[in-house]
Amino acid sequence: MNYKIDNLQYCKWSREVFQINREAELDAVHVTVVYHEDYDEFLDNIKEWDTHFKENSDLIFLGKDFKDIEKARKEKKTAIFFGFQNCSPIEDDIGLIEKVHEKGCRFMQLTYNNQSLLATGCYEKNDSGVTNFGKEAIKEMNRLGVVIDMSHSAEKSTLDAIELSQKPIAITHANPNFWYKALRNKSNDLLKALANSKGMLGLSLYAHHLKESTNCRLESFCEMAARTVEIMGIDNVGIGSDLCLFQPDSVVEWMRNGTWTKSKNYGEGSKKRPGFPKQPEWFVDARGFKNLETGLKNIGFNNEDVNKILGNNWYNFYKGIN
């Protein structure tokens, strides 16, 4: 059985988006339910998702483990897995990790760009690594089956997390910086350490992470995937598109600034390009998985390896979450 999995989306959720994901034959999607929210605000977001599940039960349901990916394939639906792009909902209380897990959280980033109570973000000048609270949080996440996600974290913090975690961690949405040097993209040394620990990298289709941005060529992306596989091995690479379909530019401004600054932070954008960047024409939405399949085959990947990258690797990773 071959699966298709997009291990990161943050779209403006609607029936149209869920239908697009079904047209793309996605069996599972890891969705962001938190950026800067505290615990109570997270609960409000879950209420919205409860409505989505009720109104779109023919298309989606809440996923909690790998068996739900199998169920989604059989029922021709998409299993939705909740994840946090920040540790803000656990506030300063380690007991809240169990509570968010009970509500469906299966991925949690230790940081979102900035220093957190757990670790250092990739936008900080000084990376002090995983904190004492972070070490305890990693133990608790391992116990419960919440994946440590270091997509927005700095290098030392990420290497610390790999070493400290008793289970493989994930970088759900980023690219290697040998291809394009963005603050969020990762070094070869880090990718090797991730692979050696049986962790996963989800290759990102977000234009700010792509060589030539919106004008990135499919062939270039697939060549990057091939070189990444040479570094990490074929079993450790998947897709985490970072699609933000139909989101207004006000959302990316909030993602970058939250409530932590009164000055304007443009993140990976700029004053001239403050909003969401346009997607490459070959990956406007999840239906671009078909183009990825073609592109990967065109540069020499066989069918088995294409299927691994497009979903089977993530499926196998999910099998080890619990």
All residues at 6 or more sequence positions from 40 whose CB lies less than 8 Å from its CB, including other chains: none
Rounded CA-CA distance 63/319 in Å is 13
Q: Phi/psi of residue 15, each to 5°?
A: -60, -35
Give the global pTM.
0.96
Rounded CA-CA distance 144/220 in Å is 39
Predicted local distance difference test score (pLDDT) of residue 264:
72
Provide the token pair at 130.
């995983």
Rounded CA-CA distance 308/122 in Å is 29
Rounded CA-CA distance 44/120 in Å is 27
Predicted local distance difference test score (pLDDT) of residue 267:
66
With tokens 């062939």, the residue in question is: 219
Provide the token pair at 10.
């943050």
How many residues does this entry show for the chain? 322
Cβ atoms of 321 and 68 closer than 8 Å: no
Predicted local distance difference test score (pLDDT) of residue 14:
98
Predicted local distance difference test score (pLDDT) of residue 269:
67
Number of Cβ within 10 Å of residue 280's Cβ equals: 21
Predicted local distance difference test score (pLDDT) of residue 256:
73
With tokens 């299993």, the residue in question is: 79
Rounded CA-CA distance 192/254 in Å is 33
All residues at 6 or more sequence positions from 54 whose CB lies less than 8 Å from its CB, including other chains: none
What CATH number is associated with residue 184? 3.20.20.140
Q: Domain tally for the chain?
A: 1
- Residue 27 CA: distances (Å) to CA of 61, 66, 297, 320: 11, 11, 21, 18
Rounded CA-CA distance 84/289 in Å is 24
Predicted local distance difference test score (pLDDT) of residue 268:
74
Rounded CA-CA distance 230/59 in Å is 36
Rounded CA-CA distance 44/50 in Å is 10
Cβ atoms of 241 and 205 closer than 8 Å: yes
All residues at 6 or more sequence positions from 155 whose CB lies less than 8 Å from its CB, including other chains: 122, 127, 186, 187, 190
Q: Which domain holds residue 45?
A: 5-319
Q: Which amino acid is at 43?
A: L
Rounded CA-CA distance 163/111 in Å is 17
Which residues in the chain come in under a pLDDT of 70? 254-255, 266-267, 269-272, 274
Q: Which amino acid is at 121?
A: G
Q: Which amino acid is at 222?
A: C
List 31's β-bridge partners, or say none: 9, 82
Q: What is the DSSP letter of 199?
A: -
CA neighbor of 149 nearest in space, from 123, 118, 111, 177: 111
Provide the token pair at 321.
């979450």
Number of H helices, E strands in the chain: 12, 9
